[in-house]
């Protein structure tokens, strides 16, 4: 596992040092990060189209990052991926994620989003990145709770349509040698293990269909994030180190989302301040040979973001595990002696 890295989406802004590629990578490097995950939609930091078309541009931005002590871990398409599949009920709210010229036109917006994700896969290849975090989007989220009753076949058709939209993107990912890593996240059609399986089945198990593991969303849904790693570790290609807590009472529980963040039962917390068992997660990912990046995604309703960023790099560094090269009780070593083995077993 590599790290520590930081996702820049929550920090990019119009004021220095968060408003340019040179200054934000220096800020990250000075805090002890060795990688940055880049929001591909933020033109203040990154030109996605140019990165897909120009290896020289990619060399230029990686050179600036290297001078500041960091590399690019991944390019993110969370916003564009969301727009690959939008139910009409959410058209107006999600329009803000799209380019101005396609707002108010769902068909054009979807085509734009698909093209954006494909551009990011090409840019990822040009930058030497092996995975691209994203969202699946959602056609079924408004039916997540089964009331009114869902008509027979609705779920299957929803995932079939989602697969139809993502299959050409995944095929392009295959040609680029880059994995698509959907963040398992409430609000997306893939929000737990069961829904991941539904989409994988609809895609015929496409090998570029993978996930970004972020345990904070499991805490808010009351899912077992460690069991999830045991079940789906072979599909985990990206990792967000983001904390959360779930403190229900007689007033709010899992569905307490109408309240401000500070009043909800489920709340995102700065890394280390919540309930996630990070030692267990890092142990399991190491056990299964996760070779990607550990990336801080800062979100907290209490703590200042810059304090969270300062605390993030040493937190990840503390939890990174260097895999053992031999068993701790293999102090004797030596070659296999069949005669000795037979004597110990009582075999004559």
Domain residues of the chain, as ranges? 2-345
Give the integer Cα–Cα distance in Å for 164 and 154: 15
Taking only the tens place, the pLDDT of each residue in 33-56 is: 999 999 999 999 999 999 999 999
Q: What is the pLDDT of residue 325?
A: 82
Question: Phi then psi for 270, rounded to 5 degrees?
Answer: -60, 145
The structure tokens listed for 275 are: 């309930």
Residue 244: helix, strand or coil by DSSP? Answer: strand
As a whole number, mean pLDDT of residues 134-163 equals: 97
335 pLDDT more than 90: no
User: Whole-model pTM?
Assistant: 0.95
> How far is Cα of residue 93 from the mean position of the Cα atoms in its chain?
22
The structure tokens listed for 266 are: 């489920």
Fold of 2-345: TIM Barrel (3.20.20)
Of the pLDDT bands very low, low, confident and very high (cuts 50, 70, 90), residue 333 is: low
259 pLDDT more than 70: yes
Give the integer Cα–Cα distance in Å for 109 and 112: 5
- State in Å, rounded, how far the first CA of the chain is from the last one: 47
Give the integer Cα–Cα distance in Å for 74 and 81: 15
Torsion of CA 145, 146, 147, 152, to 10 degrees: 140
195 pLDDT more than 70: yes
Average pLDDT, the chain: 96
CB 21 within 8 A of CB 89: no
328 pLDDT more than 80: no
Maximal C-alpha separation, the chain: 83
As a whole number, mean pLDDT of residues 67-87 equals: 98
Give the integer Cα–Cα distance in Å for 166 and 228: 23
3 pLDDT more than 90: yes
As a whole number, mean pLDDT of residues 274-291 equals: 98
Task: Tell me which residue of 64, 14, 13, 12 sits closest to 37, measured CA to CA.
Answer: 12
Q: Which residues contact 105 (CB under 8 A, 6 or more apart)?
A: none
- Concatenated DSSP letters of 284-334: HHHHTT--SEEEE----SSS-HHHHHHHHHHHHHHH-----SS-TT--S--
Count the residues in the chain. Answer: 348
Q: Are strands 209-213 and 236-241 parallel, antiparallel or unpaired?
A: parallel
Q: What is the pLDDT of residue 348?
A: 82
Instruction: Residue 110: count other Cβ atoms within 10 Å of its Cβ.
Output: 18
Which residue's structure tokens are 């040092």? 17
Q: In what order do the strands lie in the sheet with 131-134?
A: 71-76, 35-39, 2-7, 293-296, 236-241, 209-213, 179-183, 131-134
Give the integer Cα–Cα distance in Å for 143 and 121: 31
Q: Is the dihedral of CA 216, 290, 328, 224 positive or negative?
A: positive
């Amino acid at each position: 596992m590599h790290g520590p890295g930081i996702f820049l989406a929550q920090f990019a802004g119009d004021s220095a040092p968060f408003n340019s590629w040179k200054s934000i990578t220096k800020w990250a490097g000075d805090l002890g990060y060795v990688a940055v995950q880049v929001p591909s939609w933020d033109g203040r930091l990154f030109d996605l189209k140019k990165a897909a078309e120009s290896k020289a541009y990619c060399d230029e931005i990686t050179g600036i990052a290297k001078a500041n002590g960091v590399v690019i871990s991944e390019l993110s398409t969370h916003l564009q991926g969301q727009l690959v599949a939008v139910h009409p009920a959410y058209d107006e709210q999600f329009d803000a994620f799209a380019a101005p010229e396609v707002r108010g036109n769902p068909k054009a917006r979807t085509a734009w989003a698909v093209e954006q994700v494909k551009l990011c896969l090409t840019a990822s290849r040009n930058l030497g990145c092996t995975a691209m975090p994203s969202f699946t989007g959602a056609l079924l989220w408004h039916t997540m709770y089964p009331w009114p009753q869902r008509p027979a076949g609705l779920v299957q058709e929803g995932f079939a349509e989602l697969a139809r939209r993502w299959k050409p993107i995944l095929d392009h990912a295959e040609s680029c040698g880059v994995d698509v890593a959907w963040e398992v996240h409430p609000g997306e059609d893939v929000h737990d293990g069961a829904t991941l399986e539904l989409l994988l089945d609809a895609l015929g198990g496409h090998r570029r269909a993978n996930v970004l593991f972020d345990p904070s969303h499991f805490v808010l849904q009351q899912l077992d994030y460690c069991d999830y790693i045991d079940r789906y570790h072979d599909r985990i290609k990206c990792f967000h180190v983001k904390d959360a807590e779930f403190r229900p009472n007689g007033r709010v529980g899992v569905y307490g989302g109408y309240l401000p963040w500070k009043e909800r039962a489920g709340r995102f917390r700065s890394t280390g301040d919540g309930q996630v068992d990070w030692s267990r997660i890092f142990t399991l990912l190491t056990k299964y040979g996760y070779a990607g990046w550990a990336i801080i995604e800062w979100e907290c309703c209490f703590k200042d973001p810059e304090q969270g960023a300062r605390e993030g790099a040493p937190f990840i560094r503390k939890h990174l595990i260097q895999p053992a090269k031999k068993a701790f009780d293999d102090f004797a070593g030596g070659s296999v002696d069949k005669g000795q083995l037979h004597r110990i077993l009582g075999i004559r």
